[in-house]
Structure 1
């Protein structure tokens, strides 16, 4: 067992608390100590709830002493992206408009984790209304990368990526509509799971784009993500889009070997225009997967540039539709970047939007056909490591929009197709910034990408690296 409780993985600390090797109170106190140290440098938390967290941890210890165990995460302290409604608590959604919004209901995903015994540490920063890929926030300030101050974390789950990387929370819920789990995982050096559309209920989570939104975790390891997914997945009467597909034993999947699995490497698009460090990390990751028993082959995908463009249309229009009333009544309360994106979407025609939606089924069928000979596809999450906050700031950087478009080009197509994708840490750039790869799976086959991710993490230690305070 590690000497500092906050440095343990989610599964490790859950087992230690259950075995009474550690108390929830001392684990929670350890997390709060790191939060106090790191928060001034990161700006990762929206709200820190120290006293309520310690009180809840003491109660969890008392329950454990009586044999009253709520679930596999009994007494584990967690914080989540500030867009998951929790009855009686403020959920700002990273916005000025909802700065004082008190939820009357609790999101299904969050409730299922609470039912498993978690302790609430507070809430985590995010891009305004989850509409930004870098971590900028005009109202609450940018979140800084734990590995290099002044660099982006990736968005919109910016606080989730930074807090997990700095070991301020053992895991955090994020959301992925165009890459908002995978990009923070890549830029911050943690593991992030974008699930199949419909795999986890979105009830009680702030919507951005109903056709693309997914709920999922960021954590240290694939095993941690498997544990969380198993707790959250499944039918929900509060969300008619939640799938009835069987919930697999995701934890068991993380114990399997790679022998017999075929992993595809795209011939184009995902391997084009990569920074040298990212290209090097991709080659090294492929070599490791081969050494672990996987058969790695090239695969020719359909034109994913078209999928990326279609995804942007769908996201923009659906986001603008959700925000229409506030755009009319409170335009001054949006940050300039989010306001510009929402207003631009109002000019997209209904025909264009419906064409983008209608093409989705055919695009998925073509992708399935192209990847029929492999179990998963490996690709970079982004062609670059984290840029600086300054160069990706729309309000200041001359080429900021081009920088942002490049960051997200490899994530958007997967949202459009509705497929699962696991982002895993795979190395570091020459300047010391993390690099991640994504394992893209088949619909409702999160188990396979978790198998591959866990096997890779047994053979490497990139996921175990911890940043140091500036």
Structure 2
């Protein structure tokens, strides 16, 4: 492999070269910083670059590896963080004016885990303000631009993470997902985004929006890279009251065993009630691709999903208001108008309504568990439509006028059940925008989801969806120099 395209390498590729001392973490970091300097003004993906600290970390990683203390596949790899993840001594803004000068004095648990794995934390990534939006164009620091088309949104709320990973500014990122905020940007930017099982990854040290729906998870360019990051991020943490005990796993183990004989459930309703024709076209091709890979396609009925989506929206509104209440009261002018109006609406939710939504949630979990007795995974589109223009709020989809909040329609239910879900590129629209598909699995079945996602990744249709040469720098060799 030529070093001239090192920024295009996967974590898997790069880690092998670093381990063999063929390339230095210092060399990789400097190349990444050069590209960020060249591209970030255009994309607006990063809010803060952790330049000096990352250079020290890269130098330390280089010395450790030379001395035979190789820590694993993330050692020396530049990784970004969504800017709601606390970093000691580094600004953590929540994409908002309220937190624009907030500097924590501690690291989030995921930061500690990444540092322990030897990763180089390169910067804090832009996001929809307070993580409360589907578009990524409502940040105090300005909208993030989609690398495939700068007129288009990247999706919220992990907008900077989607753009940075897709355009090679970093090799992976940790995002958050409350109603689809990892999977929406992953779909719109053409990358891989995993929302793990609720409790799989500690949320300690991440600024919360909705404690019972928030998840943290990895965003990468390849499925294997995603699994490598989840290896480092997962694990029980007593500091997080929502953290769940689970067996320690290597999510890359058996990732390439294929899906022949496996059963994929395709929902008979809800996921296709409101959907763009381009999304449906790509999804149908993916289903046929999975069939060609030897999987059995099984129609499944998932009843009550409209009610489950409503439950997600009500729980989110109630808990988001609680999280933001003191700022809404004390400094409302510092909360972006669209975010503020959504947050205030949560004040009107009654306790009885909230409890009813929790009952719907637990009924839906039981229903999904029954479905998983018949199939291994569920396959759906990630989003009902392709990315809209920045600032656009109403779009015409399938003959209906829809608000852009509909982007979370197909992702939100999995936040309510807490089941793992991964978005992977499925194809490209006629106008050249990525379209993702979503595999949903049983609780703590991330390894199985990676197997399905990996099988799809190896196919020709998937490869055509990942024409990154169209979106990244065409002059990466110049950046290397």
Normalising TM by the smaller chain, what interval? over 0.9
CA distance in 1, matches of 2:296, 2:111: 38
CA apart distance, 1:406: 2.1
Aligned-pair Cα RMSD in Å: 1.7
Is residue 302–residue 370 contact of structure 1 (8 Å, CA) maintained in 2? Answer: no
Structure 2 gaps, min length 5: 475-481
2:27 paired residue number: 26
Which aligned pairs between 1:141-156 and structure 2 lie closer than 5 A? 141-156=142-157
2:323 paired residue number: 322
CA displacement 1:41-75 (0-9 Å, x = unmatched): 11000012334323321221122111222333111
SS at 2:403 equivalent: helix
Is residue 189–residue 436 contact of structure 1 (8 Å, CA) maintained in 2? Answer: yes
Is residue 201–residue 243 contact of structure 2 (8 Å, CA) maintained in 1? Answer: yes
2:221 paired residue number: 220
SS at 2:74 equivalent: coil
CA apart distance, 1:151: 0.5
1:461 paired residue number: 463
1:441 paired residue number: 441
The change in CA–CA distance for 1:325 and 1:303 in structure 2 (over 3 A counts) is: same
Is residue 127–residue 139 contact of structure 2 (8 Å, CA) maintained in 1? Answer: no
The change in CA–CA distance for 1:243 and 1:138 in structure 2 (over 3 A counts) is: closer
Is residue 421–residue 439 contact of structure 1 (8 Å, CA) maintained in 2? Answer: yes
Normalising by structure 1, we get a TM-score of 0.95
Which aligned pairs between 1:63-462 and structure 2 lie closer than 5 A? 63-392=64-393, 402-459=402-459, 460-462=462-464
CA distance in 1, matches of 2:138, 2:269: 34
Is residue 81–residue 172 contact of structure 1 (8 Å, CA) maintained in 2? Answer: yes
2:38 paired residue number: 37
Is residue 290–residue 296 contact of structure 1 (8 Å, CA) maintained in 2? Answer: yes
Normalising by structure 2, we get a TM-score of 0.93
SS at 2:392 equivalent: coil
CA distance in 1, matches of 2:392, 2:78: 35
SS at 2:34 equivalent: helix
CA distance in 2, matches of 1:415, 1:94: 22
More displaced 10-residue stretch of structure 1: 325-334 or 163-172: 325-334
CA apart distance, 1:80: 1.0
SS at 2:253 equivalent: helix
Is residue 192–residue 222 contact of structure 2 (8 Å, CA) maintained in 1? Answer: yes
Is residue 222–residue 450 contact of structure 1 (8 Å, CA) maintained in 2? Answer: yes
SS at 2:193 equivalent: strand
CA distance in 2, matches of 1:323, 1:299: 39
In the alignment of these two chains, the number of paired residues is 465
CA distance in 2, matches of 1:73, 1:405: 35
Is residue 439–residue 449 contact of structure 2 (8 Å, CA) maintained in 1? Answer: yes
CA apart distance, 1:432: 0.5
CA apart distance, 1:357: 1.4
Structure 1 gaps, min length 5: 395-399
CA displacement 1:63-121 (0-9 Å, x = unmatched): 21112223331111111101111112111111111111111221111210111001121
CA distance in 2, matches of 1:12, 1:259: 27
